[in-house]
Chain A
Amino acid sequence: MSEQTKSKPLIRLENVSKSYDGGKTYAIQNFNLTINQGDFVALLGPSGCGKSTTLMLLCGLYRPTEGNIYFGDRLVNNVEPKNRNIGMVFQSYALYPHLSVYENIAFPIRQQKGVPKNELDRRVREVAEMVKITELLDRMPGQLSGGQQQRVAMCRALVKNPNILLLDEPMSNLDARLKLEIRDEIKKLQADLGLTSIIVTHDQDEAMAISNKIAVIDDGIVQQYADPNSLYDMPKNLFVASFIGSPPMNFLEGEVEVFGDKVKFKNDQDDISLPLAMVDVDRLTSSKVTLGARPHHFIFYDDQDVPGNTVRVHVEYVEPLGKELLLKCHSGTTPVRILSPLTDREFEGKDIRVGLQRSMINIFDSETGENITIR
């Protein structure tokens, strides 16, 4: 696929709102999202945030209350699902329990008129081959394991050569190991077919691993829409920052003051100065800010040689993770999690001072929650 078609917007949601109760409450409100041809987009958010509603709007099972949805230039607000050329995999897989695997996969084609029998058979077998379930074709869905059911659901979604593949929490019913396996398979399949895909998930690891763009959704609004790395490094606000990353980002509350070309972050415990160029002070609504630092963005010093600009933490206990250590600490009353390389040093029960990789930290306006860091 050429670069040109790849960057073409395929799906646009413009100020889309959906209410189920005639406007009293909204599942999503003023929702904007653009998805390019060939993208694998994850809609990530806590349960009830509106991500599934978005998917249902895209597949056409719901009509938007307000706003417009476009596939390319075509306004599809009121286009029926069957005319949208989409494939969809459901959380429970929704295999038709009374039909064999073969008939399950053939069902979408049987709904299209005038597909000859041998053509139908060829397409079913082709897609079964691709997902490697040829030997299951004669079974009934009830006889399949969770992973096999998932694969059959994939086949059923792919068999009609859809333009868009929608996946609604497709892996949430699988055990951890199978999840990783299926995740890789889906990613590979998507890349091979160059198929524009949208996955709904509440699992940030899954979203980070599988997609090339993530829309973090909360309260029916897209909080941030970016590729996984920028989402991780430069979360747009406190919600995204706290939602993405595991162990999660640490937050220290404090106030800022400007001193010449430096800004000083201060709280009861610590005093950290940062270059003024890093913080967009014009966007501050008050002096209250939140400093966010990921667990592995701390710097350890030898006991004797501690410079300024550090955070004092009390280490409660240490969890060895194999390749590194997770220190569970407190700064004042705020819990802080720090990842440290393996070391013989005794941490448990001690007060230590750790520095910050200043180029990696984020400053948020505590009032608005917006990230005001400049990079």
Chain B
Amino acid sequence: MKQPTIAEIDRKEDRKARRRSKRFPFMLMSPFFVLTGLFVIVPILIMFVMSFTDMGLTLEWNFIGFKTYARLFADPALKTIILRTFIFVILGTICSVLSSIFITVITTFYLDTIYRKENAGIIFRIIWLLPSLTPSVVYAFIWNYVFGPTDYHLMNIVRSWFGLEPITWFALYPQQILFLAVVITSASSSIILFSAAVRQIPLHIIQAARVDGASPLYICRKIVLPYLRWPITQKTLWSVLIYFCTYEIIFLLTKGGPAGKTTTFAYYVYQNAFNLKKFGMGAALAVVLVAMSALLGLLVLRVFKVNEQLQDPRMDI
């Protein structure tokens, strides 16, 4: 039998190596593909197909074409809900982003960097991180009790100090309470990112500006905020998406009520599917929701320039 030459062995090895390196990424990603395929892509397809049925409690796949969509768009309530959702999303994003900038600048810039009171900075940061760390049921429970209807609840105790009768806060101000609760968690969740961005500012830049006699406010405007520009853009876009998709806290706090006053589009989807058991309608609404958030997602893609964030591997193995 003929011994293979080194060149032949090398060629064989190379073929093997190329096959291996072609398979390698897919081998790493295959568990992800399986899980995402089964538990994300398949549900999406099911939802899509279901949106052409009028499935209700009986769980029958009764296809009625676009009739569900026709019914959906004819619903006068939908316009109000969409309008309310947009106001909720826009106002909420503005308020939460502004307040997290405010908190970050004071804790991480003023207290940590300028006044060297790191302990105060840490305490405030932890306080402001609490809401995003708190499990949603507890968070809802807290607000339920602060604004509860009886004279044992916090806000009514406060009223009693002024000799006022207890009131049913959730009936009178449902939108305001919900808004407050959502803005606080959302602001809370941006603080880590913003703090990390402020920390990345080279200290010598700030020191140099201080030596040149710049006031902290001036440094904040001319150095800190420009550094935060990218995280702010990023967080604003994500906030929009998150507000748009919020439903859990609404479910826990107000259930969309009273009289549908706190029903946003995402919650409307949930309500139709799970409270009213109108699965066909719920699915059709979900498709509309997905279409709207996909538009937002495309905007995110444009802003984040995904391709530039993919570096080519720096080797040919």
Contacts and interface: CB of A to CB of B under 8 A. Distances in A.
A61 interface: yes
A239 interface: no
Contacts of B312: 20
B57 interface: no
A250 B11 CA distance: 52
B248 interface: no
A283 interface: no
A20 B315 CA distance: 10
A56 B314 CA distance: 10
A79 B316 contact: no
A350 interface: no
Interface in B1-29: 6-7, 10-11, 13-14, 17
Contact of A56 (B7, B11, B13, B315): B315
A80 B17 contact: yes
A80 B13 contact: yes
Contacts of B14: 78-80
Contact of B317 (A74, A75, A76, A81): A81
A75 B5 CA distance: 12
Interface in B280-317: 312, 315-317
B244 to A, nearest CB: 39
Contact of B7 (A62, A63, A75, A81): A75
A25 interface: no
A194 to B, nearest CB: 23
Contacts of B10: 74-76, 78-79, 83
Which of under 10, 10 to 19, 20 to 34, or 35 or more describes the interface residues of B? 10 to 19
A62 B17 CA distance: 13
Nearest to B18: A78
A238 B312 CA distance: 36
A80 B317 contact: yes
Interface string A74-114: 11101111010000000000000000000000000000000
A63 B13 contact: no
A61 B315 contact: yes
A20 B313 CA distance: 10
A78 B6 CA distance: 13
Given A56-B315, A61-B315, A74 B7 contact: yes
- The listed residue with most A CB atoms (<10 A of its CB), out of B6, B10, B11, B312, is B10
B78 to A, nearest CB: 51
B21 to A, nearest CB: 10
A61 B6 CA distance: 20
A83 B317 contact: no
Interface string A262-305: 00000000000000000000000000000000000000000000
Contact of B315 (A62, A75, A76): A62
Nearest to A73: B6
A71 B13 CA distance: 17
A75 B315 CA distance: 19
Contact of A83 (B7, B13, B315, B316): B13
Contacts of B6: 74
Interface in A205-250: none
B316 A63 contact: yes
A75 B14 CA distance: 12
Given A74-B6, A74-B7, A75-B7, A61 B316 contact: yes
Contacts of A60: 317
Interface string A51-70: 00000100011110000000
Nearest to A60: B317
A81 B315 CA distance: 11
Interface string B153-175: 00000000000000000000000
A60 B10 CA distance: 13
Interface in B58-113: none
A114 B39 CA distance: 44
Contacts of B315: 56, 61-62
Nearest to A57: B316
Contacts of B13: 79-80, 83
B154 to A, nearest CB: 51
Contacts of B17: 78, 80
Contacts of B316: 61-63
Nearest to A18: B316
A368 B10 CA distance: 43
Contacts of A62: 315-316
7 cross-chain pairs, A with B, having the tightest CB-CB distances, nearest first: A78-B14, A61-B315, A63-B316, A62-B316, A80-B17, A79-B10, A74-B6
Given A62-B315, A78-B11, 7 more contacts: A60-B317, A74-B7, A76-B10, A78-B10, A80-B317, A81-B317, A83-B10
Interface of A: 20, 56, 60-63, 74-76, 78-81, 83
22 contacts: A56-B315, A60-B317, A61-B315, A61-B316, A61-B317, A62-B316, A63-B316, A74-B6, A75-B7, A75-B10, A78-B10, A78-B11, A78-B14, A79-B10, A79-B13, A79-B14, A80-B13, A80-B14, A80-B17, A80-B317, A81-B317, A83-B13
